[in-house]
Each structure stands twice: as structure tokens, then as C-alpha cells.
């Protein structure tokens, strides 16, 4: 099985690659080749017992070698995140929408030459919805994005679903919750603070909280996100029919609950979180729904989520020391 990861230098891309290179298999299939594509080269890359190509370029001008003719599975993880897409409309459209168009074109070339339609696993987002803090959305809720990032992701879902209907590819479109705890450094996502209020105190650093303690978010751990991505790559899509999008079974958590989980793992760490309101961030994230029913995901075999305190423990076990090293901080 030959696999491409678009956005392979990102943290989820690296985690998927680590799983593939460690186990050498995707489901019941042996991995025989891997391509990682991103606009920068990943500084951290595991060794593999199969051929690996690491390519750098512009996803809107996706080179043929990024998606070779023999490709079986494509993880489309490349994205310009929410606050950055809001600040730079052209960049958000180029990566989030035109990059997806380029991927569809690559899959069309494969099928036009007689190849099997590749499985495409796409990371969409709960930012494709609005409704705010009081919303609990059902699986058939209408997507009404309240920011450019959400609009671009929703449009990309439609493009990929139509390409799947036409037989160019075989799509599974995952509407990811906010992923916490992200390793590394803060990024330009509007939701970046949700990881920061756990990650930075565990590093011994202060961080700002731009919303109140009662703010709730639909969240998921990196471990669970990788598990969902791998399941989506191998699941039977016949049962999905024409609707290839899935709201995933995360958990709804308030800031207060996140800080309680932090203190359960590292007593007193929440004292490093400073309440500094930021209306620009609040205006974006408070439009996002705080809870989903996600029944369809369970019937499709996507695993349920672990308790919030286990999310914090998993970051300590999986990513804390690597994050210290990446940021030049002394070991804990």
C-alpha cells in the first residue's frame, strides 16, 4: 500500500507517519511507500523500512510526484488555520480550497490512467458550523460557518464529496473537534489558547486565556484523532452512501474543567494561566458549537473519547519532553 500525507510536516501528519513507520502497516495492509508533502520539511522524521519521499512545495500547484499513480491512500491534512485564514483571505483560499482542487485533479489523473480511486481522508473542522455556546448539534445539522476558515473547509467537503460520487476518489471527510493538547509552539489558530492553557503551564510558562472559565469547546486528543484518521483510511465506505462527512465523537469541556484536569496532573499549574480577554479571538470561537451528538460516527466504528484528565496525561507521556526540546527549554 502506497500512502501520501499532505501536510506531513504538521503535528498530526508527523504522528500518522510515526504510526505507519513504526508498525509498517495500515490496517491489514503492508505499507510499501510513503510520500510526505508540505510547504516546509519536517525537522522530525522517523526511520522507515520502506521507501519514503519528503517533498516541499505549494499544495495549490501539487506536483505529480506528491501523488504517484500507484497511490492507495491520501491523508489530506494540509490547512491554513482559523485566525490566519481570517487575517489572510488569499492564503486561506489558496491552501484550504485551491489545494483541495489540486488534490482532486491528482486523483482524476490516477483514475483516467486506469488506476483505482484513492481513499482520501480529509480533515475538515467543527468550524464549518456555528450556533454558539448553547448549541448541541445533531448529525444532520446544517453547516453555517461564521469565519473564512470554516467556509473554506465546508466548500472543500463539497468538492471532495462530489469527486467521490463521480468515482475520482473514495472520500471520508472528518470534521475534527479542536485538538488538544497540541505539542510544539502556539500557532495562529483561534483555538490555540485551548492547548496553551494546558501545555504552557506544564512547561512552567505563563499563558493568556482570552475567554472566560465558562467557555466550552468540543475537543479531542491527538491520540484519538490519529486513531480516527487510521480508521477512516481502512473502513468500509459503502455504508456511508453519498454523505461522506462525519462529526466525530469528541468531548465537550469548559475551560474550568480543563484547568481542573491540568491541576489533577500537575497540582497548582493552573496558577500560570492569566485571564486576559481578547475580543477578536472570542468573536471567532464563541460562534463554534460546544457539543455534538455524533451518533453516526459511532455506528461507523469511530472510537469514543477518553476522559479529559487522560488527555492531559497523554500529552505528558507523548509530547511534553519533545516540546521542551523543540522550544529549547530545560528538561522537566
Reported in sequence order, the residue ranges of the chain that DSSP labels E, i.e. its strands, are 2-6, 25-26, 29-30, 33-38, 52-56, 73-76, 119-125, 136-137, 170-176, 178-179, 207-209, 216-220, 245-247, 251-254, 273-275, 291-292
User: Which residues, 6+ apart, have CB-to-CB distance to 77 below 8 Å?
Assistant: 5, 6, 7, 8, 10, 12, 13, 16, 123
pTM of the full predicted structure? 0.95
User: Which residues, 6+ apart, have CB-to-CB distance to 114 below 8 Å?
Assistant: none
User: Which residues, 6+ apart, have CB-to-CB distance to 256 below 8 Å?
Assistant: 213, 214
CA torsion sign for 30, 48, 75, 69 is negative
Q: Do residues 284 and 82 make contact, with C-beta atoms less than 8 angstroms apart?
A: yes
User: Which residues, 6+ apart, have CB-to-CB distance to 142 below 8 Å?
Assistant: none
Helix (H, G, I), strand (E, B) or coil at 67: coil
pLDDT at residue 45, rounded to an integer? 76
pLDDT by 10-residue block (mean), the chain, 332 residues: 97 96 96 96 82 96 97 98 92 98 98 98 96 94 95 98 98 97 90 97 97 97 98 97 97 98 98 96 92 97 97 97 92 76
Tally DSSP H helices, then E strands, for the chain: 12, 16
Structural domains of the chain sorted by starting position, each given as residue range(s) with its CATH number in brackets: 2-177+221-247 (3.40.50.720)
pLDDT at residue 47, rounded to an integer? 86
**149 tagged catalytic:** yes
Q: In angstroms, rounded to a whole number, what is the distance separating the alpha carbons of residues 22 and 49? A: 9
pLDDT at residue 42, rounded to an integer? 76
pLDDT at residue 83, rounded to an integer? 87
Catalytic residue among 37, 149, 288, 315: 149
Q: How far is CA 185 from CA 17, 315, 324, in A?
A: 20, 14, 10
Please report where in the chains the cell 461564521 appears, as a residue. Answer: 146
**C-alpha grid cell for residue 213?**
472559565
Amino acid at each position: 500500500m502506497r500512502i501520501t500525507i499532505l501536510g506531513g510536516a504538521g503535528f498530526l501528519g508527523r504522528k500518522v507517519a510515526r504510526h505507519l513507520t513504526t508498525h509498517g502497516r495500515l490496517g491489514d495492509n503492508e505499507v510499501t511507500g510513503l510520500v510526505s508533502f508540505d510547504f516546509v520539511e519536517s525537522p522530525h522524521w522517523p526511520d522507515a523500512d520502506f521507501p519514503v519521499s519528503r517533498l516541499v512545495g505549494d499544495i495549490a500547484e501539487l506536483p505529480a510526484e506528491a501523488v504517484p499513480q500507484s497511490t492507495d491512500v491520501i491523508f489530506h491534512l494540509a490547512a491554513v488555520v482559523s485566525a490566519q485564514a481570517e487575517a489572510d483571505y488569499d492564503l486561506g483560499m489558496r491552501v484550504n480550497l485551491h489545494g483541495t482542487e489540486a488534490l482532486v485533479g491528482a486523483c482524476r489523473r490516477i483514475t483516467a490512467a486506469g488506476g483505482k480511486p484513492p481513499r482520501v481522508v480529509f480533515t475538515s473542522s467543527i468550524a464549518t458550523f456555528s450556533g454558539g455556546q448553547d448549541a448541541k448539534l445533531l448529525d444532520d445539522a446544517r453547516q453555517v460557518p461564521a469565519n473564512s476558515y470554516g467556509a473554506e473547509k465546508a466548500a472543500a467537503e463539497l468538492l471532495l464529496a462530489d469527486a467521490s460520487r463521480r468515482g475520482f476518489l473514495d472520500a471520508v471527510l472528518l470534521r475534527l473537534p479542536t485538538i488538544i493538547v497540541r505539542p510544539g509552539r502556539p500557532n495562529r489558530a483561534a483555538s490555540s489558547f485551548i492547548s496553551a492553557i494546558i501545555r504552557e503551564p506544564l512547561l512552567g510558562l505563563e499563558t493568556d486565556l482570552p475567554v472566560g472559565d465558562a467557555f466550552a469547546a468540543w475537543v479531542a486528543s491527538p491520540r484519538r484523532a490519529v486513531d480516527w484518521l487510521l480508521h477512516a483510511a481502512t473502513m468500509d465506505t459503502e455504508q456511508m452512501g453519498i454523505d461522506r462527512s462525519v462529526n466525530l465523537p469528541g468531548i465537550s469541556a469548559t475551560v474550568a474543567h480543563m484547568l481542573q484536569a491540568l491541576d489533577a496532573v500537575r497540582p497548582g499549574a493552573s496558577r500560570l494561566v492569566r485571564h486576559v480577554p481578547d475580543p477578536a479571538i472570542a468573536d471567532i470561537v464563541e460562534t463554534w458549537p460546544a457539543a455534538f451528538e455524533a451518533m453516526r460516527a459511532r455506528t461507523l466504528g469511530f472510537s469514543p473519547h477518553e476522559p479529559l484528565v487522560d488527555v492531559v496525561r497523554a500529552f505528558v507521556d507523548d509530547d511534553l519532553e519533545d516540546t521542551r526540546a523543540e522550544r529549547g527549554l530545560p528538561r522537566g
